[in-house]
Amino acid sequence: MDQILSKNEVDALLSAVNEGIVATEDEKDIDPTVVRSLDLTSQDRISRQRLPGVESLAVKTANRIRTLFAGLFRRPMSVTLRDTELVKFGEILSGLGGYAVINLIKLYPLHGSSMLVIEPDLFLSMITLLFGGKRAEHVPRKGPELTPIEARMARKLTKEILEQIEYAFEGVVKLDSKYINTEVIPRFAPIAITTDLCLQIKLRVELDEERSGDILLVIPYSALDPIKDKLKTLAKNEESLDANWRNAMLSLLVGVDTDVWAELGRTEMRVQDLLELQVGDVLLLDTALGQPAKLFLEGRPKYRGLPVKKKGMLAFKIDGAIKGDEE
């Protein structure tokens, strides 16, 4: 505690620094003759941003693939969007490990090639179901190579999924997709250099309670140039649609009739006393004079207040709202 400066000591030190009595570290001089390199092609700054409009397309893609799988496998399956992000291609390859079912594709008019990746365990479980397996079991294998049947099924699945991607993107661009080939070693799928950014759409597929896996759609960021403006327009239109939908709902709600009543108090009576009631009898309620009563909206207490008289009519003066835990 003895080493902590007092307020007066701190003020004195700051004053000495400002007056130059206490020397501080000199700033490093920058030599104006030295040329500093600047990489204008670097995409590091873009990686911190999200591409507008992509998420809605990814959700549509997940919904289309869910419907596709329900028809192919004759059973309901869960296909949900896990994430959409811009990631360096090298990081994507590292995340795939040493083996994956990598389907190289083209999505015209997007530039270059893209890839549709299915996790190995998920792919093998899907093959089992397609060939009549009762449940999605893991199929042991001796190596990363695909058998001719597995390669044929990978091509068939990819083409079916590409058709659904075309439908999902049709609100932005008319895609003409093409299957190229299937690789199982990530380094043999060079759709970009390792430092290039790629759009990664990650979908989670749950075949049953035991087996699940991811499907990745990877598109180089530079390939999206033909539709970047359309994606931004899509994002703005969605915001406008959300606002219009909200205003439309509010306009409908304000015209809805609701049941509103005030409860002045309660009492308990025997059936015999109830049958003997006559005109002029007075019932004693459990609410004291001046104690707030409750105003009910559609059967639920919403406000508290007092009964009053206004313009010759009985009225209810609201003093406050009733919170949920006060009901």
* Stretch 92-120: mean pLDDT: 92
Whole-angstrom CA distances from 226 to 172, 180, 214, 219, 311 are: 11, 21, 28, 13, 69
Residue 14: its pLDDT value, please?
A: 72
Element (H, E) at 305: strand 300-310
Query: Is pLDDT at 117 greater than 80 in this prediction?
Result: yes
DSSP assignments along 215-278, one per residue: EEEEEEGGGGGGGHHHHHHHHHHHHHHHHHHHHHHHHHHTT----EEEE-------HHHHHT--
Report the alpha-carbon distance of residue 3 to residue 321 in Å, rounded. Answer: 55
Report the alpha-carbon distance of residue 293 to residue 122 in Å, rounded. Answer: 62
pLDDT classification of 214: cutoffs 50, 70, 90: very high
Q: Could you give the 3-state DSSP secondary structure of residue 140?
A: coil
CB 43 within 8 A of CB 223: no
> What's the CA angle centered on 106, arms 128 and 198, to 5 degrees?
90
Closest listed residue to residue 293, CA positions, set 326, 267, 318, 258: 318
Give the mean pLDDT of the chain. Answer: 81
Query: Is pLDDT at 282 greater than 90 in this prediction?
Result: no
Closest listed residue to residue 117, CA positions, set 165, 189, 17: 189
Its sign, for the CA torsion 284, 287, 291, 292, is negative
Helical H runs in the chain? 7-19, 54-73, 89-96, 120-130, 148-169, 228-253, 271-275
Residue 257: its pLDDT value, please?
A: 82
Query: Is pLDDT at 144 greater than 70 in this prediction?
Result: no
- Domains of the chain (ranges; CATH) run 46-239 (3.40.1550.10), 260-276+284-326 (2.30.330.10)
Residue 81: its pLDDT value, please?
A: 93
Query: Is pLDDT at 181 greater than 80 in this prediction?
Result: yes
Strand partners, 104: 115, 181
pLDDT per position as a tens digit, 4-55? 666 677 677 777 666 665 555 555 556 666 666 655 555 554 444 456 678 8
